[in-house]
Structure 1
Amino acid sequence: MWPNFIAAALALFFGGLSYAFPAEPEMGLYNLLPGRANDNVSPDNACGNVVAGANNGYFCEATKDDGGCCSQYGYCGSSTDYCLTGCQPNFGTCSTPPSQPIEDNFLCGPQNQGELCSDSLCCSQNGYCGSTDDYCGGGCQPAYGQCKTDLTPPTGNDKCGPQNQGATCSGNQCCSVEGNCGTTSDYCADPRNCLLGYGRCDSDTTPAGPSTVNVARPLKGPVPYTDDIDDCIQDNVVALSFDDGPSIYTSRILDILKAYGYHATFFISGNNNGRGAIDTTSPYPDLTRRMVAEGHQVASHTWSHYSLLNVTHDLRISQMVKNEMAFNNIIGMWPTYMRPPYSDCTKESGCCDDMLALGYHRVYFDLDTEDYLHPLPSQIQRSKNIVKKALADKTATDYLSIQHDIVEQSVTNLSAYYFNVINARGWRGVTVGECLGDTDTSNWYRSFNN
């Protein structure tokens, strides 16, 4: 969800999420920091400097703490969650991990200690796991994951779109915004690259299973359906929300939330930016199920992140219903909460009436971290300053905030800082539903049977 004026500026950055990521080592939360003297034994089971460690540099002692290993999230313990991946050897003991595919960090290849991609993911030339053509096509490393050998290169000869007398693409090709026909994500990924109506687009895919369009939609729970929601009714909370995922960083933010005991609402787009549909593309189904299992709230951010303003009623309904079908395929239900992409939903456009007819709460925010404007390590401090200033306001009683789990620095750098600021104020990080007093989680979803 971003203001329209930055859409062009973000195209390059967000486009990179469907491309192979650079192979430089990641900087931020997960880097190990030098520890203090080993006799600085933890008095409270927290260790190290990051996340729960809070820069105290405590060392884990097996005879005094819950274990002798210091996890990547700053807790002492003795299980593999503490002693293997991310274990901090400067603040305790660590075990040697077995040689096996990495399930959750999406790094691969010789530049990442020979790690393999899990399941059916491909290892890009720059050492990241993914499933789009940018991972599985040119430069894909077959020794570390799957690769595609039947990609059809675009010819660039066929023209399409309004700039070419309204010509349409043939042969199941997609029409790029530049007016060329092709079959890769450069042509087919929407809303960024593909022109609707002049050929195929990724968003034309309809999830398998029965349509939800004609399901009865009683208005459930105490939260109004007719108002725009941008404020909590509970005090001393921050409603944490993440838009546009899931992504390769989502498992990390789930880990961090778990370490803090926080819960969040994930406004999920079903099939955008060339990443594949959430119900059929690994690891997105498992990530979505994990969100629900760990007490988070999943909500809709439309199927393909199109603005809901200047589109037809039918396209608006299709964008919501396709996402419902994908959710139903994953978790057997779909949300009653949604956030309009770009905050675009008005009464005049018909969007508000359409969302009401579908039984959706329209959720916005009153604390924008602006993480999407500050995606680089050299920029993310600006987002830290925003949340620090907001939480320092003594007149504030709550916030409903927005981040994006497709922004690496927001996940690996901003979040732990932000959560520490929330803790320092004595507040909690909660779901949108909880912040609105809607604590019965059955109100957050509907299904064919309810």
Structure 2
Amino acid sequence: MPLSIDKIPTPKHATGKTRGRRRRLRPTALLSAVACAVLTLAGCAQVDTTSPSTARAEAAHGAPAGFGTVDCRKAKCIALTFDAGPSENSARLLDILKEKKVPATFFLLGKRHIEKYPELVKRMAAEGHEVASHTWDHKILTRISDAQIREELKRPDDAIERLTGRKPILMRPPQGRTDANVHEISKELGLAEVLWSVTAKDYATTDSALITKRVLDQASRDGIILLHDLYAGTVPAVPGIIDALKERGYVFVTVPQLLAPGKPEPGKVYRP
């Protein structure tokens, strides 16, 4: 399935020392790398992904009746996700989500985020949101060594588990860039990868009305919305996004709820 990668700029605090450095590919990743080279000279744009509807269908046969709070086989579900927090804006975002009774999935950065706002991480978990990883320092995982990939994924997981008592089961690779090697290491660490179907490109604008319009224009059933609560225009856009999508009949769920009765499978990549 072709993957259109949204080239989100690497945050300023992320290190670029490993850019361009080649790592030795494992045999399982080598075939994928060769295939990518054939597909495009600009980089790998081919990633096997599993849609939420497929995850639900595969698990439905003989599955128990429990579907969490919502059965997305019947309801018109959509998932609101936020990358690269916590930030100074996250407390206000959590207030909005609590007021609107909307669960979200937070893909958190470690360095200068989890370590700076530990109380917000605890609050996210306590208020029923899914707390997941966006790596420790936003390094592009396809450009670094296996050891560095493990560190980028393990450090935020350990920090989140210490704060919430629960180890993350989801991660989102920076810029959506992933490959067979990343899948293998994610599987080893018990992580499923989550991409998206809706982006407001809120890293490039502070116009809350434009952010709202972009989300609403792209929204569809089983959609996964990508936003960033660290940018100034994003949190003010959230109430309007929620209200408009509720009016259209959407029910907001976390990513695991979107897949239920299926469960996120380590090493798999989920995308509508």
TM-score normalised by L of structure 1: 0.44
- Counting aligned pairs with the same residue, the percent is 29
Q: What's the offset of the Cα at 1:409?
A: 1.1
Q: CA-to-partner distance for each residue in 1:101-151, whole Å, 9 max, x for gaps? A: xxxxxxxxxxxxxxxxxxxxxxxxxxxxxxxxxxxxxxxxxxxxxxxxxxx
Contact 2:18 2:144 in 1 (8 A): no
Q: CA-to-partner distance for each residue in 1:328-369, whole Å, 9 max, x for gaps? A: 22122320111101101112xx11111111111110011112
In structure 1, what is the Cα distance between the partners aligned to 2:136 and 2:14? Answer: 10
Contact 1:231 1:400 in 2 (8 A): no
In structure 2, what is the Cα distance between the partners aligned to 1:292 and 1:195? Answer: 33
In structure 2, what is the Cα distance between the partners aligned to 1:356 and 1:439? Answer: 17
Counterparts of residues 316-395 of structure 1 (less than 5 Å): 316-347=149-180, 350-374=181-205, 376=206, 379-391=207-219
Counterparts of residues 259-274 of structure 1 (less than 5 Å): 259-271=99-111
Counterparts of residues 388-403 of structure 1 (less than 5 Å): 388-391=216-219, 396-403=220-227
* Aligned residue number for residue 80 of structure 1: none
1:424 equivalent among 242, 247, 251: 247
Name the aligned partner's letter for residue 278 of structure 1: I
Higher helix share: 2
Contact 1:229 1:364 in 2 (8 A): no
Secondary structure of the residue that 1:240 maps to in structure 2?
A: strand
Name the aligned partner's letter for residue 373 of structure 1: A
In structure 2, what is the Cα distance between the partners aligned to 1:411 and 1:341? Answer: 21
Aligned length: 216
CA 261–251 in structure 1, closer or farther in 2 if over 3 Å, else same = same
1:299 equivalent among 129, 132, 136: 132
TM-score normalised by L of structure 2: 0.71
What is the CA RMSD across the aligned residues, in angstroms? 2.7
Q: What's the offset of the Cα at 1:323?
A: 1.2
* RCO higher in structure (CA 8 A, sep ≥6): 2
* Aligned residue number for residue 229 of structure 2: 405
Q: Do structure 1's residue 252 and structure 2's residue 88 form an aligned pair? A: no
* Aligned residue number for residue 236 of structure 1: 76
CA 229–404 in structure 1, closer or farther in 2 if over 3 Å, else same = farther
Q: CA-to-partner distance for each residue in 1:191-242, whole Å, 9 max, x for gaps? A: 3xx6469xxxxxxxxxxxxxxxxxxxxxxxxxxxx96355455241110100
- Unaligned runs of 5+ residues in structure 1 are 16-188, 198-225, 445-450
- Unaligned runs of 5+ residues in structure 2 are 20-46, 57-71, 267-272
In structure 2, what is the Cα distance between the partners aligned to 1:246 and 1:255? Answer: 14
Runs of 4+ in 1 over 3 A off after TM superposition: 194-197, 226-233, 438-441
CA 384–329 in structure 1, closer or farther in 2 if over 3 Å, else same = same
In structure 2, what is the Cα distance between the partners aligned to 1:381 and 1:359? Answer: 38
